[in-house]
Structure 1
C-alpha cells in the first residue's frame, strides 16, 4: 500500500504509482493523473518544509499564497538645477504603487479568512515601455489553528510581515506580535559635478561632499517615514529593516532610497519556556 492510499480524501493512484499494484506506469502516454484532495481549497505557500513545520508548531496553518500587483507610469520630470532635491511626485508614486500591491494582497488574505501574512516580498520589474514599472507583493496567508483572533491588527484586518516562518514563531514565543510591513522611501535627484570640479578632482582621492549629503539626507527621509508608518499602526519596534537603493528607469542621477521592515508590538510577556540555545555554524566559504 502506498502512502497516498492511507490518506483519506485522495483519489486512488494508478498501478505503478504510489508503491502498489503493477510496476508498469499507467497507460495513455505515461502521464501521471492528478492527485486531488476532496472537499475544500488546496492550500498553497512558498514555505520551505522547515518553515511550514515551525509555523504549525506555533499553532498556525497556511491558507494560501497571496499576491497583489500595480502597474504605474513613473516618468521623472527633473528641474534644470545642479543641486540635490527630492522628486516628491516620484516619491508619492512609488509609495502609492507599493501600497496598492500590498492592499490587494491583504484583501486576498481576508477572503481566505487569514489572521496575517508571513514572508512578504516586494518586487519591481520594468515593462516594455521604459517608463512603466510593475510592483508586486507576495506572501503566505496563515490562520490560527484554533481560531484565536488576537493575532490580527487592532482594526481586525490581517497583519503583514516579511518575517520568515522561523522568525515569526520565535517572535511569538518572545512575546512580540507583528502588526504590519512598514516602509519609507525617498526619490532623490543626485547633483552633477561641474566640469571644472570634475577636472580638479580627476587625480585626487577626495570626498564628494554634495553626493555624501544627498545620499545621507535621502536615507534619513526613508528611515523617518518608515518609523512614522510604524507609529501609525501602534508598533513599539521595527525588526528586520533593510535599506535598498535603485535607479529603476531614471538613469544615474535619480535614485530611490527604500527602507522596509516589520512593525512589531512587544507585549513584554514572553513564553516562560522561551529560550534560544547557541548553535555552532561552520561556514563553507573560502
Structure 2
C-alpha cells in the first residue's frame, strides 16, 4: 500500500505547482539551537555601548539560521525532492538559548533541473516563474544593531531641538542597507541575478534590534549582464512583479529610506497644551510632513542614482519611538523598462491570486493560530 504524502501546500498552491510541472511531496524541517556563550555576550555588551552593528550577535544569528537551513536542505536531498517551496524561518527562545527553525514543502518535477528553494509560497512562486524568474535559492541577510549609549546621549540632547536627529537616522539607514547588501551577496554566490519577493522583519531582542531580510534568489535570462555582479532586488508581491513584467518593466533595486525626527522640548510642551483644545496641532502636522518629505527626497535621489524610471509599490511607515521621537520609513522598488521582458501566459489563473484562508479558528488549549501554513 503506497504511503500518503503530507504537504504544507494548500489546494491552490498544489494547482499552481502542477501548472509548472511540479507535484507536492513531504514537509521538510531543519533546526539548530545556538548559544552565544559568556564571551560573546560580554563583547556584545561593550559593542552595543558604542552604537551601530553588534557583529557577535549578527554572526551568531546568521550561523544559527544557516545551520538550520542546511539541515533542511540535507533532508530535501535525502527525500529526493527537486525543490523546497514556501521556506519559512523562525527564531524562538529555548531554555535561555535560541532555536532557529526552517520549514518548507518539497516538490518533485524534472530531475534534470538543479534543486531550488523559494522564500515565496507556491502561489507567489508561480507568478515569479511565469514572469521569467527561475528560482535558485532561498536567500537571507541580517544585522543586529544598537543605537548605543553614545548615540543615545547625543540623541537625547538633540531631542530638545525640533527636527531630524541625524545620529539616529544614520544608524537606522546604515543597518537597513547592510542587511540588504548581505542578502544580495548571498544571492550572487548562488549564481542569481535577481532577488525577488523580499520581505523585511525588525525584531527587538535584549535591548537591541535585529533586521532580517529574506527573498528568493532567481535568474532571469533577459536581465543585462551588469546584474550578474549586482543582482536586482524587489519587494513587489508575486502578482505585482508579474503585472510589471507584462508591461515590460524590470526591477532594479529595493530602495529604503528612514529618518528620525524630534518634536523638541518646546514643541512638545506646546503640543501638550494644544491637546486640551479641539483642533489641529500644527507642530505635529508640520513635523510629520517634513519627515515624510525628507525620506521621499532620499528615496528619489537613490532612484535617480540607479537609473530608475519609476519607484513602485512605495510604502510609508511611521513609528513612535517615545520621548517626542518618531521614525519615518519609506520602502519601494525602483523599476525601468528593459527589452525582452514579457510573461509566459496572458493572464494569471485565479488559483495564483486567491489567498488561502486559515481553517484553525481557535487559539485555546495552548495553541496559537499560525499565520502561514507549513511551507506555504
Q: TM-score w.r.t. structure 2 length?
A: 0.57
Answer yes or no: is the 8 Å Cα contact 2:119–2:214 preserved in 1. no
**Bigger radius of gyration among the two:** 1
Structure 2 SS opposite 1:262: strand
Match of 2:264 among 186, 191, 200: 191
1:115 paired to 2:188 = no
1 or 2, which has the higher strand percentage? Answer: 2
Given that 2:197 and 2:237 are in contact with CA atoms closer than 8 Å, whether structure 1 keeps it comes out as: yes
In the alignment, which residue of structure 2 is the partner of 1:86?
164
| Preserved contact between residue 140 and residue 213 of structure 2 (Cα < 8 Å) | yes
Q: 2:216 matched to which residue of 1?
A: 140
Q: Residue 238 and residue 197 in structure 1: after superposition, are their counterparts in 2 closer, same or farther (change >3 A)?
A: closer
1:126 Cα shift? 1.1
1:176 to 241, 245, 249: 249
Asked whether the equivalents of residues 198 and 235 of structure 2 are also in contact (C-alpha less than 8 Å), the reply is yes
Partners in 2 of 1:222 and 1:263 — Cα distance?
A: 15
Q: Please state if 1:36 is matched with 2:58.
A: no
Question: Contact between 2:159 and 2:263, CA under 8 Å: does it hold in 1?
Answer: no
Q: Is the 8 A contact 1:187 1:255 kept in 2?
A: yes
Match 2:181 to one of 103, 113, 117: 103
Deviation readout 1:194-250 (Å, 9 max, x if unpaired): 798568545421221111111111110011101111111110110000000113xx4
The structure-2 alpha-carbon separation of the partners of 1:155 and 1:216, relative to structure 1 and needing over 3 Å to count, comes to farther
Match of 2:203 in 1: 125
**Residue 166 of structure 1, CA deviation:** 2.1
* 1:253 maps onto 2:324 in alignment: yes
Q: Supply the distance in 2 between the matched residues of 1:124 and 1:49 (Cα, whole angstroms).
A: 25
Greater share of helix = 2
Over 3 Å counting, the alpha-carbon distance change for 1:196 and 1:252 in structure 2 is closer
SS of the residue corresponding to residue 162 of structure 1 reads coil
Q: For residues 255 and 41 of structure 1, do their structure 2 counterparts lie closer, same or farther at Cα, with a shift above 3 Å needed? A: farther
Q: How big is the shift at 1:100? A: 0.7
Q: What is aligned with 1:231?
A: 304
Shift of 1:44: 1.8
Structure 1: 5+ residue stretches without partners: 5-12, 14-33
Q: TM-score, normalised by structure 1?
A: 0.74
- Give the Cα–Cα distance (whole angstroms) in 2 for the partners of residues 242 and 161 of structure 1: 13
Q: CA 1:87 to 1:155, structure 2 compared with 1: closer, same or farther past 3 Å?
A: farther
Alignment RMSD (CA, Å): 3.5
CA 1:202–1:117: 2 relative to 1, 3 Å: closer
1:152 deviates by 6.1
Equivalent in 103, 121, 135 of residue 62 of structure 1: 135
Q: 1:262 aligns with which of 333, 349, 354?
A: 333
**1:237–1:266 contact (8 Å) kept in structure 2:** no
1:130-179 deviations in Å (ceiling 9; x for gaps): xx2111111111113xxx25256567411001012222122112011100
Deviation at 1:37, TM superposition (A): 3.9
Cα distance in structure 2, aligned partners of 1:151 and 1:252: 48
